Structure 1
Amino acid sequence: MSVVGFDVGNLQAVISVARNRGIDVICNEVSNRATPSLVSFGVKQRFIGEAAKTQEVSNFKNTASNLKRLAGRSFADPEIQEIEKNLTPVELAEADGMAGVKVNYLGEQQTFSNVQLIAMYLSKLKETTASEINIPVSDCVITVPGWFTEIQRRAVLSAAEIAGLNCLRLVNDLTAASLGYGITKLDLPEDKPRNVVFVDIGHSDYSVNVVSFLKGQLTVRGAAYDLHFGGRDFDKVIMDKLAEEFKEKFKIDVYSNKKAILRLRVAAERCKRVLSANPQAAVNIESIMDDRDVSTIVNRSDFEEWAEGLFGRTADTIQKALENAGLKVEDIDAVEMVGGTTRIPAIKTTISKILNKEISTTLNQDEAVSRGAALQCAMLSPVFKVRDFRVNDICSYPIKLSWAPTPEEEDTEIVVFDNNNNMPSTKILTFHRSEPFTMEANYVNPAELPRGINPWIGQYTIKGIDQPSEIKVKVRLNIHGILSVESAYTVEEKEIEEEFTNKDGEKETKKTKKLVKKADLSVVSQTTALSKALMDQYAEKESQMASNDRLIFATEAAKNSLEEYGYEMRDKVEGSYGPYIDPSIKDKFCSDLNAVVDWIYDEGDDQPKSVYIEKLEALKKVGSPVVERYREAEERPRAERALRATLQRLTEEAMSSDDKYSHIPPQDKQDIVDRCDRARRWLDEQLGKQEKVPKHDTPIVLSRDMAQEESAVVAFATPILNKPKPAPKPAEDTPMEEGEKKEQPAENPEEKKEDMDID
């Protein structure tokens, strides 16, 4: 069973698996420990991850990025229209009421929703994982930002289901990192908690968690977020300055060309990474636009001056997290940082000053979240035993339930899960109704939500009420951070007799009134979840696209095999294979090889897989015997030497006067010598015949024939040479001389012990 943690970031994803009594980060098909979060569409197939990265610039109009920022959004969302449109080269569009992309795929314009895009990417991560661990992947834990709302979390869960993944938990990024930190600490206190601030600055957002640790548990005390502060914002600062410099220096307007913008963004990101470890970075972009090459040098001091406004924003989010946690700076014991952007030296310095603490380096900045997710998956999986460690996560936004007023009730709403409420959590609400009624769930403070997110969560109608009743409604905030009305039922007060023992020790009974469940009621829910029909449609579409990708991959592999065989055989037939092919067919075979190579680059460029396989098999009918004859000519001398060495060794052992073989009858030894002589004569005879056979004819004797003869001789000689020596005869008793005492056998202490009486 798989135990996998997926840290799905806006720029890249990291995959961890629990195995070999630990957590391993696995590599993708090009041996990178992180996979780019990109999905690209082509004329024949999709390219995902590393394959999409290689054509990000050349196929930018059909390459979707920033997948996490699209999750759960509508196309009309101001975040999409004002920000993501400018940061995503692909054309954004509406797809089934959601934000998505419009691309040219399989030769036609198609739109895909954000749920479909995330499902495609998760399918790739699943495939990468399965390839590494060699078992099917199903159970997993997926990370999401703590600021994700219900609709965004449902989008990721739906995508996981389409990808064929069983998501055991959606875990908040920093909660996963906190778990990885805490479970390895053996010195956690038992009474006074250790308070740690976790800072995560990724590609597109900034999160802060304040976490209290006690032995065997962690509790998230408070959190705060900045949704527009991340690596891509620092990239934009560099881009703007470089574009300004290039306009003045080279007279080109980079922002007037989409491909040039993308090339500049890639260069700016690389520049930022270099500046994190070096005082300056060279920027060189070939053919950025109008066939112009540009170059410059960026100093770290200049970059820090350009981004001064961004650095100043770090304090607000930390202060808000501390306020939500009810703690002050002096209450903090340590600071841990994760996320690629935290490598910027000025970020570390700024946060260290704000919290008046040195930055700890316990966690791997890129992999800590993924490792924590895999640990969480192992804790939820029945196949792994993990040290007990309790994770107390919190609800990021308070949720209320509201309903229509009744004459008997003045209240029409209740905050059912307040800010910092534990997650998962269950509440039971009591209503008095005589007919069906409806509740509506909303976030309490719409202004605190990510901009453009609808505060509406769901509507729940309680049915089956036909008389005045007391009703219990069970509301749950589940492990994913998603609200549900799990059940509703009527109760009635009954008088029950209970038996108890009085102070005199006598048994008595008394009557008490208790509420007991009477009948279940039906709950009809309307939520932000995708309809079953749409989910089925998406799953079928993903299956079709995946099948097509596999077919194209197999076809390309068959085409490449044919091309490789054509080039390789053509060169070798003219070289080392030349003596081993019949001269009467050599020219024809070379001509066929040349024809295939030319055909591949002409009409053979786009053919079915079966055509490539058929042509390869036809060539191999001629080529395989040639290869086999060449290999035999190479192997035959080695096989001959091995056989002769074995015959020499066995003959010498059979004729040896060594005491080791003195017990073996002479006739048996002679049989070994005769068998070895017979093998030598066979070998000499076969090799003599082989010398008369042309190299391009079928060999008389094969290397495997010699190996078989060697095995036969060894099988014959070994039992004889390994025959054990007979046991020595016992010495006969001799008469004792007068006065000589017969030696008594030594007493066996074990036997004596067995004869002893034991009380």
Structure 2
Amino acid sequence: MSYEALVGMLLAKLAQIASTENGNAVKDFVVSVPGYFTDRQRRALMDAAKIANINLLRLMNEHAAIALGYGIFRTAELPEADPIKIVFVDIGQSATSVIVGSFLRSEAKVLSVASDPSLGGRAVDTLLVEHFSNQFLEQYKVDPRTRPRPLLRMRAECEKLKKVLSSIPESPLNIECLMDDIDVKGFMKREDLEALITPLCKSLETLCRRALESAGLTAADIHSVEIVGGSSRIPAFKQAIETVFGGNLRTTLNADECIARGCAMMGAILSPAFKVREYKLVDVYPFEVSVLKELRMGGSELITLMPPMHALPATKALSFPNQGPFSLTMKYLDTQGHIDFGDFHVEEIADAPDAKVRVKIRLSSNGVAEVATAQLLQEVEVEEIIPTEDVSKKAPSTESKDVEMKDQLVDGPSTSKDDASASTEPVAPGNNEVLDGGENENNGVVPMEAEVETPKTRKVKKLKTSDLIVKQGLIGVGLGSKALADAIEQESKMQAQDLYLREKADARNALEAYVYEIRSRLDEYGGDLREFCEEKVCSNFKLLLDKTEEWIYDEEGERAGKSVLQSKREELAAVAAPILSRKYESDNREVQIKNLEEASAMYKQVNIQTELYDHLTDAERESILKKCEETDRWLVKEREAQAVLPKASDPTLTLARITEALTSLHAVCRPIYSKPKPKPPVPEVAQEAPMDTTSGNAEGASASATSGEEKSAAKDMQSNSHPEPTPQAADMEM
């Protein structure tokens, strides 16, 4: 099995954990990688993501994740114009990285990163194992380094000792039966541990200085130093960092989760499902990338493509004369020399010695280099039409002359043959032919036909671009298509097998738990199902439960599949169903009877003479009372019949029958009981009598206001026509 397949298994398990915690299937992931990962390692991790069937949004450098997680949550604390310089020292289990970053309120920029893949907590564990192994060899004559199992136990105990000495000044080391049934004991003080890891502390100081030098800064330019990583808690490592940067060490970041949080934020930024405020992140590529160009006809050239700490992503273009087919080999330059990580071949090139070849090499956001395009650039001479504006500038226009000639012809039109023949200008042949003795159709005027000029051209040089075919070689390609497909198929089969085994284990546990639960509930001492089961049935059921338990633990039960385990549980559930039903009926019967009785009592209230029900007719009242009495009699009869039955027998008064009776009661009584009371009639409001100046009207109005008995008379007066005005009223109107 390949390394990619093993990492794919790990990623698939992590995806399963994430989906379980989230409650929904998670397919989009941002995976962090150490900054020192090469192109080959990154491609291998991308293949592992394909094997795990996850959508890899981004391979994110760990130093970039730390910088993003630091800056995006501290925008209120960061300056707007003058950036501050922050150093992050990440000391993990296997590697250490020192990152120098520049931060603004709107931007985080990684200036430099220095890494040591061999400096970390595991190196401390190795020194402790070596120390105590030599001590035990001398004291107990055993060497745990000679056997794998004792060595693993020894390493685990030394890791615990390292953590203890990070908090207390001294601690013993006791391991029982380490080898050959021999118990070993050791002891160490923190001072001894610090002396033991002095070379590691020196390496850490060198790494910090290298990061500063690469960024072009000094310790005085640093605003603060953040330490992260599990091994950053070792006091000796803290002292080494303070030696370089001073005592301004901070632990405001989560030492164990800061990289994961940065990846989560990048996932939210890349996902359309989340809205994140704009925050720019500028990452760097720690390696110097070179390209070796080799011609098929012979000769090679090493070209520096990108210097160390170049911005990521990036695209670079190379141009060189066309010398036939060639190949490009991508190389890293590190302390051990050049490391090849990719090759690309351009074979089909036209024979054009004067042409040039332009190749664009792209370094993606994942840190993977590839040839984006390869083009052949040729200068060719082509003819192009001179624009009209250029011609008009060089030659005078004849348009004005034509206009003048037309004006003369219009001013003095000739209508005779002699005038027509006396013209000094030749008549061009065309549609305007002379008819009937020299006159033409257009009132004797012979218009001139415009002369058609041939477009003028000129020769110019243009750049012709032709795309070239680029083939990737075998260096750093990762898994082939067939190997990748086989790994994906194998991973799918293993995931299906894991799912089946989980479901089988769940079925076994469910069967075992059911046996224990039912058997305890059937126990004659305190079992809540015992009184609902007949003696013979209970004995046979217990015997079946015991046999099922024995079957679970014997060889046949161990080999049984998921479906067999499920059928066993269903068999037990079929036997237990009547017993559980009787228990449920008994527990809920009285509650349902109470509901029926309360409904009947509520409907009987219509017989009480109150204003709430005085709108109901006698027939409606009689219908409700009749149904309620019928229901009460049925309930009394059924309760008496049920009371004489033992609990182990099937009930006659079931919840279903009580619910049916309640439904029937509601169907008859509820429409009548809920019948709305009719609204009272609205009394008519008497209109006010119109004002009149006559004494009769005044007297009528006064009478209607003072006497309640004369309201009808006043109403009649208002409905009649107005009386004739009296003489006094007529005089007043005049």
Normalising by structure 2, report the TM-score: 0.75
Q: How does 1:179-198 map to 2 (within 5 A)?
A: 179-187=68-76, 188-198=78-88
Percentage identity across paired residues of the two chains: 32
Partner of 1:524: 471
SS of the equivalent of 1:549 reads helix
Q: 1:564 aligns with which of 501, 510, 513?
A: 513
Deviation at 1:375, TM superposition (A): 1.1
Whether 2:148 is the aligned partner of 1:258: answer yes
Code of the residue aligned with 2:653 in structure 1: it is: V
Matches within 5 A, 1:641-652: 641-645=594-598, 647-648=600-601, 650-651=602-603
Q: Report the more deviating stretch, 184-193 or 236-245.
A: 236-245
- Residue 73 of structure 1: aligned partner: none
The Cα shift of 1:645 comes to: 4.9
1:550 counterpart (480, 489, 499): 499
Residue 606 of structure 1 pairs with residue 564 of structure 2: no
Distance (Å, rounded) in 2 between the aligned partners of 1:389 and 1:181: 12
Aligned residue number for residue 97 of structure 1: none
Match of residue 173 from structure 1:
62
Q: Which residue of 364, 369, 375 maps to 1:489?
A: 375
In the TM superposition, what is the alpha-carbon distance from 1:212 to its structure 2 partner? 0.8
More strand by share: 1
Q: CA deviation at 1:482?
A: 0.7
Q: Which amino acid aligns with 2:702?
A: E
Tell me what 1:733 maps to: 685
Give ranges in structure 1 of 5+ residues lacking alignment. 1-111, 449-453, 742-759
d(CA) in 1 for partners of 2:663 and 2:622? 19
Q: Distance in 2 between matches of 1:397 and 1:361?
A: 29
Task: Summarize deviations over 1:236-265 as a string: whole Å, max 9, x none.
Answer: 344445556666777654434422332333
The alpha-carbon deviation at position 330 of structure 1 amounts to: 1.0
Residue 299 (structure 2) pairs with residue 413 (structure 1): no
Distance (whole Å) between structure 1 residues aligned to residue 121 and residue 704 of structure 2: 103
- The alignment's C-alpha RMSD in Å is 3.7
Matched position secondary structure for 1:460: strand
Name the aligned partner's letter for residue 250 of structure 2. S
Report the AA paired with residue 404 of structure 1.
Answer: E
1:157 to partner: Cα distance:
0.8
Does residue 467 (structure 1) correspond to residue 416 (structure 2)? The answer is no
The equivalent position to 1:458 in structure 2, one of 321, 325, 342, is: 342
Ranges in structure 2 where 5+ consecutive residues have no aligned partner: 395-455, 689-700, 706-734
Deviations 1:578-612 (A, max 9, x none): 23233333333222221221122222222222222
Q: Distance in 1 between matches of 2:3 and 2:34?
A: 16
Contact preservation (8 Å) 1:157, 1:167: yes
In 2: Cα distance, 1:245 partner to 1:174 partner: 40
Structure 1 residue 638: Cα displacement: 3.9
> In 2, are the aligned partners of 1:400 and 1:416 still within 8 Å (CA)?
yes
Give the alignment partner of residue 27 of structure 2, picking from 106, 127, 138.
138
Deviations 1:638-659 (A, max 9, x none): 44445545555x3587577886
- Supply the distance in 2 between the matched residues of 1:657 and 1:334 (Cα, whole angstroms): 88
The structure-2 alpha-carbon separation of the partners of 1:677 and 1:115, relative to structure 1 and needing over 3 Å to count, comes to: farther
For residues 387 and 633 of structure 2, the distance between their equivalents in structure 1, rounded to whole angstroms, comes to 103
Distance 1:661 1:297 in 2: 94
> Displacement, 1:483?
0.7
CA distance in 2, matches of 1:683, 1:174: 78
Q: Hey, what does 2:417 align to over in structure 1?
A: none
Letter in 1 for 2:109: T
Equivalent runs, 1:4-19 vs 2, <5 Å: none
- Aligned with 1:559: secondary structure? helix
Match of 2:491, SS? Answer: helix
Query: How has the CA–CA distance of structure 1 residues 492 and 567 changed in structure 2, closer, same or farther, with 3 Å as cutoff?
Result: same
- Looking at CA atoms only, which structure, 1 or 2, has the larger radius of gyration? 2
Deviations 1:524-562 (A, max 9, x none): 002312111110111111111111111122222222222
Find the aligned partners of 1:581 and 1:556 in 2 and give their Cα distance.
Answer: 31
Instruction: Quote the offset at 1:299 in angstroms.
Output: 5.3
CA distance in structure 1 between the partners assigned to 2:49 and 2:178 by the alignment: 38
2:570 maps to a residue whose letter is: E
Offset at residue 191 of structure 1 (A): 2.5
Residue aligning to 1:591: 543
* 1:627 alignment partner, one of 580, 586, 593: 580
Matches within 5 A, 1:102-117: 112-117=1-6
In structure 2, how many angstroms separate the alpha carbons of the residues matched to 1:349 and 1:665? Answer: 98
Find the aligned partners of 1:573 and 1:333 in 2 and give their Cα distance: 73
Q: Is the 8 A contact 1:441 1:456 kept in 2?
A: yes
Matches within 5 A, 1:339-738: 339-404=229-294, 412-445=301-334, 447=336, 455-468=339-352, 469-493=355-379, 516=463, 518-526=465-473, 527-528=475-476, 529-575=478-524, 576=527, 577-603=529-555, 604-645=557-598, 647-648=600-601, 650-651=602-603, 675-703=627-655, 705-706=657-658, 726-727=678-679, 729-734=681-686, 738=702
CA distance in 2, matches of 1:725, 1:233: 90
- Measured in 1, the distance between the counterparts of 2:208 and 2:177 equals 43
Query: Structure 1 residue 420: deviation in Å?
Result: 0.9
Aligned with 1:455: secondary structure?
A: strand
Aligned-partner SS, 2:318 = strand
> Take 1:690 and 1:120, find their aligned partners in 2: how far apart are those partners?
62
SS of match in other structure, 1:465: coil
Query: Judging changes above 3 Å, is the alpha-carbon distance between structure 1 residues 196 and 711 closer, same or farther for their aligned structure 2 residues?
Result: farther
Q: Report the Cα distance in structure 1 between the residues aligned to 2:499 and 2:28, rounded to whole angstroms.
A: 23
Q: Distance in 2 between matches of 1:682 and 1:635?
A: 19
Cα shift readout 1:103-149 (whole Å, capped 9, x = no counterpart): xxxxxxxxx22211110010001111222223332221100000111
Match of 1:451 in 2: none
Q: Deviations over 1:406-449 (max 9, x none)?
A: 99x9971211122111111111211322532111111123527x
Moved more, 706-715 or 132-141: 706-715
SS of residue in 1 equivalent to 2:469: strand
Q: 1:686 to 1:738 in 2, by over 3 A?
A: same
Check whether the contact 2:294–2:300 (CA below 8 A) recurs between aligned residues: no
5 Å matches for 1:205-220? 205-220=95-110
**Which amino acid in structure 2 is aligned with residue 473 of structure 1?**
V
Task: State the secondary structure of the residue aligned to 1:574.
Answer: coil
TM-score (norm 1): 0.73
